[in-house]
Amino acid sequence: MARGGINRAIVQIARDALIARGVNPSINAVRVELGNTGSMTTIARYLGELGKGDPLPMGRRERLSDELSGLVGQVLDRLLEEGAEEVAEARAELDKYRASVNEQLSQTQAALAELQRQHDNLQAALDIQAGELSTCQSSLQSELTRNARLSQSCADLEVRVHEKDEQVRSLEEKHLHSRDALEHYRNAVKEQRDQEQQRHEGQVQQVQVELRQLQQTLMVKQDELTRLNRDNERLLSEARQQAKAATTHEDAALRLTGEIAAMKTAVAKADGAKEALQEQLGLSHAESRRLEEGLSRASAQLTEAQRLSEQYFAELTQLRQTMDHPAVENQSKNQIENQSKNATK
């Protein structure tokens, strides 16, 4: 006989069984007697109803008739029989439910074990991941520190590069100033050299003019002094080319002395022109001395001009070397200025 759950009869059978064994029919005891099935509220409600309908005391039952007692006994037996059947069915269903619950419990325990295993695996993986994360964090911290150090190094390098750029810019400006100063100095030296050359050429031209004037005077005064003028011109030419004015002048002076002596002899022999020749000779001596002084000056000027030309050539060579080596430009410039000042002096 199927049933949807416990009923009053089943609760009453369990209660009577407990009373027969001398056990207090409490809610928990009845539920245990029913195989731990049924709702506590339902069992309590049924127990309350059964408590209100308890049989009369034994004294009053004895006063009942035998027929009624037999009927009651039959009903009681029938109730006990049906209650036993209900209890058996309930216990069968309880056993089936218990087996189902045990099976579900086994499955649940297996699932729980699987979940525990997965949890352990996940925990181990989590521990590994935590270790890797710690390592990554340490590596990240190291990289951050390294990046910070590299950033600082880059910043320092940028500052140093900026400083080097400033130094290079300053050196370039100094180099440009030095180039400008050198160019100005070159122009000044060139102008000074041109002026010296022009002055030298003017002096040479002046000397040449003076020499030509002396030659013309000598030619007018005396034909015999023509050879002396040619010698003087040769001396001037040799003084320009080889700077041997002193030797040439001594030779010319010796020749001039011999010629003067010859002229004195010729004058002495000329009776009619003796005084005139003597005066001419005196003038010739004066002119000769003047010519000698002019030749001396010209020789000195030519020697100085050659020295200046050699010095200017050395300065030009040094300037070219200075242009090839800018590092020693200032030192070379000072040396050239000192040499130029000495040459000017």
Q: What is the pLDDT along the chain (345 residues), one digit of tens a residue?
A: 334 468 888 888 888 888 888 888 888 888 888 888 888 888 888 888 887 655 544 444 444 456 776 676 677 777 777 767 777 787 788 888 888 888 888 888 888 889 888 988 988 888 898 888 888 888 888 888 888 888 888 888 888 888 888 888 888 888 788 788 888 877 888 888 788 788 878 877 887 887 788 778 768 777 776 887 777 677 777 767 776 755 776 676 677 778 777 766 765 776 666 677 667 777 867 877 887 787 788 778 778 877 887 876 787 777 777 666 555 455 555 665 665 566 555
| 229: in domain | yes
Please indicate, yes or no, if residue 226 is contained in any of the structural domains: yes
Exposed / middle / buried, residue 82 (Cβ in 10 Å: 0-12, 13-18, 19+)? middle
308: buried, middle or exposed (CB in 10 Å: 19+, 13-18, 0-12)?
Answer: middle
When divided into structural domains, the chain yields a total of 1
Is residue 292 in a domain?
Answer: yes
What is the pTM for the complete model shown?
0.25
- Burial class of residue 120 (count of CB atoms within 10 Å of its CB; 0-12, 13-18, 19+): exposed
| Residue 6 belongs to a domain | no
Residue ranges in the chain assigned as alpha helix (H): 8-20, 27-33, 40-52, 58-62, 66-221, 226-242, 245-269, 274-324, 329-344
In sequence order, which residues have a C-beta less than 8 Å from that of residue 195 and are 6 or more positions away?
Answer: none
Residue 194 lies in a domain: yes
CA angle at 333 for the pair 329 and 339, rounded to the nearest 5°: 145
Tokens 């245990």, residue located: 32
Show the domain range for 223: 175-344
Give the Cβ contact number of residue 201 at 10 Å. 12
